[in-house]
C-alpha cells in the first residue's frame, strides 16, 4: 500500500486561500462541491486501525482501504497507508457491501474544492460543525512543507491525521472517537450531544 503524505491547516479564510493559490500558480481542478462518503469498519478492521471508505467525489466514486499505523494522537505526516480504486456508482457500491454483510457505520457529508500545483494536490475542505481547512498532499514530505510555506503557513501549525483529530481539537470533551461514531452527519444537523462543548465553551 502507498503512504498517504498530507497535512492540514485549520480555520482558514477561503477567499484569501484562493487568492494565494492563484498567486503561486495553482490551477483549480474541481470547484466546491458536495461529497458523500460512508465508512465500513468491522471488528477486525477496528483492531488494526483500518476501515473501508466509499466516497462520491462529484466526478467519480472511489473505494479506499485505509490503515493508520499509529493511534490518532501519535499520527505523523506519513503514518497512514491507503489502497484506492474507482468504482462505477456510489449507492450501488454501498449496497453491494451491505448485501455482503458489511454495512456502513457512518454516512458523512463534506464539501471540497480541489486545486493542483504541478503534482501536488491542495484541497479546501468544509465539514459539519467545523471551520474550513486546507489539506496539502504530495508524494514527498518536502513538497508538502514547501507548498505550505508558499501559502504562508507555519509548520508548527500543521495537523496530521484524519478529520477526527480536528474534531477532537474543536470538541475536546467528546465522549466518542469523532465523526466516525456519528451514524449520519449532514450539513445543518445539530451538533451531536456526544461531542460536548466546543473548546471555546460555546
Q: 91 to each of 96, 111, 172, how far by Cα in Å?
A: 9, 18, 34
Contacts 24+ apart (CB under 8 A), 186-194: 186/109, 186/128, 187/109, 187/111, 187/128, 188/128, 189/128, 191/129
The tally of domains found in the chain comes to 1
Domain containing 24 — which CATH number? 2.40.320.10
Q: What is the DSSP letter of 177?
A: S
In a domain, 201, yes or no: no
In a domain, 58, yes or no: yes
What's the domain range around 160? 2-195
In a domain, 45, yes or no: yes
In a domain, 202, yes or no: no
Q: What's the pLDDT at 202?
A: 57
In tens digits, the chain (202 residues) has pLDDT values of 777 899 999 999 999 999 999 999 999 999 999 999 999 999 999 999 999 999 999 999 999 999 988 787 777 888 889 999 999 999 999 999 999 999 999 999 999 999 999 999 999 999 999 999 999 999 999 999 999 999 999 999 999 999 999 999 999 999 999 999 999 999 999 999 999 999 886 5
In a domain, 42, yes or no: yes
In a domain, 200, yes or no: no
In a domain, 156, yes or no: yes
Amino acid at each position: 500500500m502507498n503512504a498517504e503524505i498530507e497535512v492540514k491547516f485549520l480555520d482558514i479564510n477561503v477567499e484569501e486561500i484562493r487568492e494565494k493559490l492563484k498567486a503561486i500558480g495553482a490551477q483549480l481542478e474541481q470547484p466546491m462541491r458536495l461529497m458523500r462518503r460512508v465508512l465500513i469498519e468491522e471488528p477486525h478492521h477496528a483492531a488494526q486501525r483500518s476501515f473501508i471508505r466509499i466516497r462520491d467525489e462529484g466526478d467519480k466514486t472511489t473505494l479506499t482501504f485505509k490503515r493508520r499505523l499509529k493511534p490518532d494522537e501519535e499520527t505523523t505526516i506519513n503514518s497512514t497507508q491507503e489502497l484506492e480504486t474507482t468504482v462505477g456508482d456510489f449507492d450501488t457500491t454501498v449496497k453491494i457491501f451491505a448485501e455482503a454483510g458489511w454495512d456502513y457505520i457512518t454516512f458523512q457529508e463534506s464539501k471540497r474544492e480541489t486545486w493542483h500545483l504541478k503534482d501536488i494536490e491542495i484541497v479546501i475542505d468544509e465539514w459539519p460543525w467545523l471551520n474550513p481547512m486546507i489539506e496539502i498532499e504530495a508524494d514527498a514530505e518536502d513538497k508538502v512543507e514547501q507548498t505550505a510555506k508558499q501559502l504562508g503557513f507555519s509548520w508548527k501549525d500543521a495537523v496530521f491525521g484524519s478529520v477526527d483529530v480536528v474534531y477532537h481539537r474543536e470538541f475536546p470533551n467528546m465522549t466518542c472517537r469523532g465523526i466516525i461514531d456519528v451514524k449520519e452527519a449532514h450539513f445543518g444537523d445539530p451538533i451531536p450531544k456526544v461531542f460536548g462543548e466546543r473548546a471555546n465553551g460555546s
